[in-house]
Chain A
Amino acid sequence: MTPGDLQRPGWRHEPARPLAGTAVAGGQPLAVASITGVCSLLSCVLDTDVPSIRPEDRTYVAAEMTAFLCAWLSSLPCPVLNRPSPSCLCGPPWGPERWLHAAVQAALPARAAPRRETTAVTVVGHRAFGAAAAAQCELALRLAEFSGVPLLRVLLAGPASAPVVAGADVWVDVQGDGVADAISDLLLEAP
Chain B
Amino acid sequence: MILLWGLPADGPLAAVAKRLRQLGVPAFLLDQRLIARTAVSVTAAPSPSGVISIDGVDVLALEDVTAAYIRPHDSRRIIERTAPGDPHAAARAAQADMAMLTWADISPALVLNRPEAMTSNDSKPYQAAFIARHGLRVPDTLITTDVGALREFRDRHGELIYKSVSSTRSIVARLGDEHSGRLDSLRWCPTQFQQHVAGTDFRVHVVADDIFATEISSEADDYRYASRTGHGADLRPALLPVEVADRCRRLALALGLPLAGIDLRRTPEGEWYCFEVNPSPGFTYYQQHTGMPIDLAVARHLAGDAARARSRLRLVAAGGGVGGLDRRQQRR
Footprint of B on A, CB under 8 Å? 6-16, 22, 24, 52-53, 60-61, 63-68, 70-72, 74-75, 85-87, 92, 95, 97-98, 100-101, 103-104, 110-112
A–B complex contacts, Cβ < 8 Å, 13 sampled: A11-B143, A11-B146, A12-B142, A15-B143, A61-B189, A64-B191, A65-B189, A68-B143, A71-B126, A85-B116, A86-B121, A95-B102, A100-B44
Nearest-neighbor residue (CB-CB) of B143 within chain A? A13
Chain A residues, Cβ within 8 Å of B166 = 60, 63-64, 66-67
Q: Please tell me if B242 contacts chain A, counting CB pairs below 8 Å.
A: no
Rounded to whole angstroms, the CA-CA distance of A14 and B106 in the bound complex is 35
Count of chain B residues with a beta carbon within 8 Å of a chain A beta carbon: 48
Q: Which residues of B contact A (CB under 8 A)?
A: 42-48, 98-99, 102, 105-106, 116, 119-129, 132, 138, 140-147, 149, 153, 164-168, 186-192
Residue of B nearest to A14 (CB): B142
CA distance A63 to B43 in the complex (A): 31
Question: Of B44, B47, B168, which is within 8 A of A63 by CB?
Answer: B168
Partner of B44, one of A24, A70, A85, A101: A101
Of listed B138, B140, B146, residue having the most chain A CB within 10 A: B146
- CB–CB A85/B46 < 8 A: no
Given the known inter-chain contacts A8-B145, A85-B119, please indicate yes or no for A101 contacting B48, CB distance below 8 A. yes
Which 10 pairs between the two chains have the least Cβ-Cβ distance?
Answer: A71-B125, A67-B166, A67-B123, A86-B122, A100-B44, A101-B44, A86-B119, A12-B149, A70-B123, A63-B166
Contact A97-B125, Cβ < 8 Å, known A12-B144, A14-B140 = no
In the complex, how many angstroms separate the beta carbon of A172 from the nearest chain B beta carbon?
A: 21
Cα separation A67 to B146 with both chains bound (whole Å): 18
A residues less than 8 Å from B122 (CB atoms): 67, 70, 86-87
Given A7-B189, A9-B147, A68-B125, list of 6 further CB < 8 A pairs? A8-B145, A10-B145, A14-B142, A74-B126, A97-B99, A101-B45
Q: Of all chain B residues, which has the CB nearest A12?
A: B149
B146 and A9 within 8 A (CB): yes
Q: A15-B141, A71-B165 are in contact. Are A110 and B123 (CB under 8 A)?
A: no
Name the distance in Å between A69's Cβ and chain B's nearest Cβ: 8
Question: Are A15 and B125 in contact, with the CB atoms below 8 A?
Answer: yes
**Smallest CB separation, B192 vs chain A (Å):** 8
Contact B187 A98 (CB under 8 A): no
Whether B141 pairs with A14 at a CB distance below 8 angstroms is: yes
Q: CB-CB < 8 A to B47: which residues of A?
A: 104
* Alpha-carbon distance A67/B187, docked complex (angstroms): 16
Measured CB to CB, the closest approach of chain A to B185, in angstroms, equals 11
Task: List A contacts of B141 (CB < 8 A).
Answer: 14-16
Nearest-neighbour CB distance to chain B for A5, whole angstroms, equals 10
Question: Once the chains are docked, how many angstroms separate the CA of A7 from the CA of B191?
Answer: 11
| Interchain CB contact under 8 A, A112 and B142 | no
Q: Which residue of chain A lies nearest to B142 when distances are taken between CB atoms in the complex?
A: A14
**Nearest opposing residue in chain B for A75, CB measure:** B129
Most buried by A among B47, B186, B191, B192: B192
The CA-CA distance from A67 to B164 in the complex, in Å, is 9
Question: In chain A, what residue has the closest Cβ to B120?
Answer: A86
> Distance in Å from the Cβ of A162 to the closest Cβ of chain B?
16
Complex Cα–Cα for A101 and B164 (A): 34
A13/B142 contact (C-beta < 8 A), A64-B190, A111-B45 known: yes
On whether A112 and B45 interact (CB within 8 A), knowing A6-B145, A11-B143, the answer reads yes
Which chain A positions have C-beta within 8 A of B126?
67, 70-71, 74, 86
Given known pairs A11-B143, A12-B146, A101-B44, the reply for A67 and B124 (CB within 8 Å) is yes
B102 touches A98 (CB 8 A): yes
Whether A71 lies near B123 (C-beta < 8 A) is: yes
Closest Cβ of chain A: how far from B255's Cβ, in Å?
A: 12
Closest-by-CB residue of B relative to A10 is: B146
Residue of B nearest to A24 (CB): B145
**Distance between Cα atoms of A52 and B185 in the complex (Å):** 12
Give the distance to chain A from B245, nearest Cβ to Cβ, in Å: 25
The smallest C-beta distance from B78 to any residue of chain A, in angstroms, reads: 19
Residues of B within 8 A of A100 (CB): 43-45
- Cα A10 to Cα B166 in complex, Å, equals 20
Q: Which residues of A contact B164 (CB under 8 A)?
A: 64, 67
A181→B141 CA distance, assembly (Å): 38
CA distance A68 to B163 in the complex (A): 12
A68 close to B123 (CB less than 8 A): yes
Nearest Cβ in chain B — how far from A124, in angstroms? 25
Determine the chain B residues whose CB is within 8 A of the CB of A87 once the complex forms.
Answer: 119, 122
For A11, the chain B residues whose CB sits under 8 A away are 143-146, 149, 190
Chain B proximity of A16: nearest CB distance (Å): 6
Decide: A103 and B129 in contact? CB cutoff 8 A: no
